[in-house]
Structure 1
Amino acid sequence: MKNRFEGKTAVITGGAAGIGLAAATRIIAEGGNAVLWDRSRDAIVAAARELGPACSGEALDVTDFAALEHAAAEAVRDHGAIDILIAGAGITGPNTTTWDYPVDAWRQVIEVNLTGIFLTCKAVVPHMRARNAGRIVNIASVAGKEGNPNASAYSASKAGVIGLTKSLGKELATTPITVNCITPAAVRTAIFEQMSQQHIDYMLSKIPMNRFGTVEEIAALICFLASDEASFSTGAVFDISGGRATY
């Protein structure tokens, strides 16, 4: 599949680390370009150094719509199009019960994980509609299906991503633009640093395969959904949870 993304440009939020970086790596290996939107400028520079001239990026906050609009226009100017959007920027928030959950932390998690994806889609979709082409892959979580205890904001935000994906997918269903999301179980990335060990152990205990997923496994599914092969799936939710998901 080394030429699967030849001539294609993918914008990836949270793309300078973890799942986003793994997706960028594979897209470039298969002939495409990756534009990383990440809040860490240093991480973008490091990723571009590792991945070469097919990788570029812009430091931004996904809760800033003006910055997203500007970055989208720049990506189209520099590459001719945004063929693929992979929206994966997110945070976990604290691990505590709902009744003890800090209100400011709740709002921050919802703002980054859910509103951030809404704003990113809002900035990019008009460019895709102008060309009548595109692939959108949103990163949700199995927590959005099942609701993890002591992670109410994260679970609610990811459930919202699933609902947003279904709505946008139906809105664009009469076009060649598809919108899907994936629901991974836990994957060991730097985001684990935001979680308690007790919560990490809980997540592992719920996975029948008795292991965490790898970023390469998640990237493989993302890249299928971002490719021309996935032409008859939209508004859909794809499980990748080691057997954890119950629906």
Structure 2
Amino acid sequence: MRPEHGSAAVEQSARLAGKHLFVTGGTRGIGLAITAAALARGARVSFVGTTSDGVRNAEADLHNSGADVAGFQADVTDEAAVHAAVTAASERFGPIDVLVANAGRSSVHGPLRDSSPAAWWSDVSVNVLGVAHCAAAVLPSMTERGMGRIIAMVSGTAGRPSPYNSAYSCSKAAVVRLVDCLAEEVREDGIAVFALRPGNVQTDMLAAFAESEEIRRWIPGDIARLRPQSPDRAVAATLWLAEGDGDALSGRWIDAEDDLPALAARAGDIAAADLYQLRRRKA
């Protein structure tokens, strides 16, 4: 069955065959689903996770399906570890064509006044610095070859107040702006950069959010509004961008539930009106 995006179907193709995708947070949830789907389309996939056991287990599961995939243990906030993983992955499968910056954390909930500054900053570091480290590590090769795509996972909280969840929402807003800045930096180098909201996918992080005592105390309505989804739309949107049909939308903040082909067809109008980004509007 084809994955759907709004009212339009995103066609599956073999254009990822032979391409090298590098996926962070690839041992579970959205990252693991993207890895498996990309492998099914003939891509070569390397991924990173924070624990060696997680990497080993995911790699074993994927190898059991006959896939050729490589996993690496790395903390995305550790610049040296990220560069080592990118180097090892490139030696294994060749230069990285697509970076999927999926690793994220949301562990600090409740009033800012009661939060640990170190824990708050740790969440922000994973979500923002992690993307920056990974992008910086893959960009030299992409720039040299004049091609590449970077897809960073963000959240709807980047565009609205999210009280008692400030570390996560602030960090995701920062990633949207990072994508905006980076897309302009590399536009002439043949590299496209996207901010993608995957939706409320049923992941360990979403489950932890729903079970958080702080969330239940301070914003129980957010739990009531959650409608956990399968990762299918997020996976389909990611691979559609990876294949290149959305390159005209580089720099934009889009949603896995959007009608992506229709957005791409309106890319010129979207750019002219400066839509699908964080902007200050004045009356």
TM-score, normalisation: structure 2: 0.79
Instruction: Tell me the amino acid that sits aligned with residue 167 of structure 2.
Output: A
Q: Distance in 2 between matches of 1:2 and 1:51?
A: 21
Q: Distance in 2 between matches of 1:228 and 1:184?
A: 18
Q: Deviations over 1:90-133 (max 9, x none)?
A: 11022101222211111101111111111111111112111111
Query: Which one of the candidate residues 84, 98, 106 is aligned to 2:120?
Result: 106
Cα shift at 1:4:
2.5
Q: Distance in 1 between matches of 2:192 and 2:143?
A: 11
Instruction: Tell me the amino acid that sits aligned with residue 32 of structure 1.
Output: A
Instruction: Tell me the amino acid that sits aligned with residue 58 of structure 2.
Output: A
Structure 1 pair 217–112 and aligned structure 2 pair: CA distance change class (3 A): same
Q: Distance in 2 between matches of 1:154 and 1:241?
A: 21
Q: Distance in 1 between matches of 2:59 and 2:89?
A: 15
Would the aligned equivalents of 2:210 and 2:223 in 1 still touch at CA under 8 Å?
no
Give structure 1 regions of 4+ aligned residues with deviation exceeding 3 angstroms.
196-207
Would the aligned equivalents of 2:143 and 2:190 in 1 still touch at CA under 8 Å?
no
What RMSD in Å do the two structures reach over aligned CA positions? Answer: 2.1
Aligned to 1:130: 144
Between stretches 152-161 and 41-50, larger displacement belongs to 41-50
Q: Deviations over 1:24-67 (max 9, x none)?
A: 11111111011011112222222222222422110010011011
Query: Which one of the candidate residues 22, 33, 36 is aligned to 2:33?
Result: 22
Residue 172 of structure 1 aligns to a residue whose secondary structure is helix
Aligned to 1:94: 108
Between stretches 70-79 and 196-205, larger displacement belongs to 196-205
Query: Which one of the candidate residues 232, 238, 251 is aligned to 1:216?
Result: 232
Structure 2 portions without partners, runs of 5+: 1-11, 259-275, 279-283
Cα shift at 1:76:
1.7
Aligned to 2:50: 39
Is structure 2 residue 62 aligned with structure 1 residue 51?
Answer: yes
Structure 1 pair 135–61 and aligned structure 2 pair: CA distance change class (3 A): same
Instruction: Tell me the amino acid that sits aligned with residue 25 of structure 1.
Output: A
Aligned to 1:202: 221
Aligned to 2:156: 142
Query: Which one of the candidate residues 74, 85, 99 is aligned to 1:85?
Result: 99
Would the aligned equivalents of 1:16 and 1:37 in 2 still touch at CA under 8 Å?
yes
Aligned to 2:179: 165
Residue 170 of structure 1 aligns to a residue whose secondary structure is helix
Cα shift at 1:75:
1.7
Structure 1 portions without partners, runs of 5+: none
Query: Which one of the candidate residues 252, 263, 282 is aligned to 1:236?
Result: 252
Q: How many positions carry a matched residue from both structures?
A: 241
Instruction: Tell me the amino acid that sits aligned with residue 221 of structure 1.
Output: A
- Percent of counterpart pairs with the same letter? 29
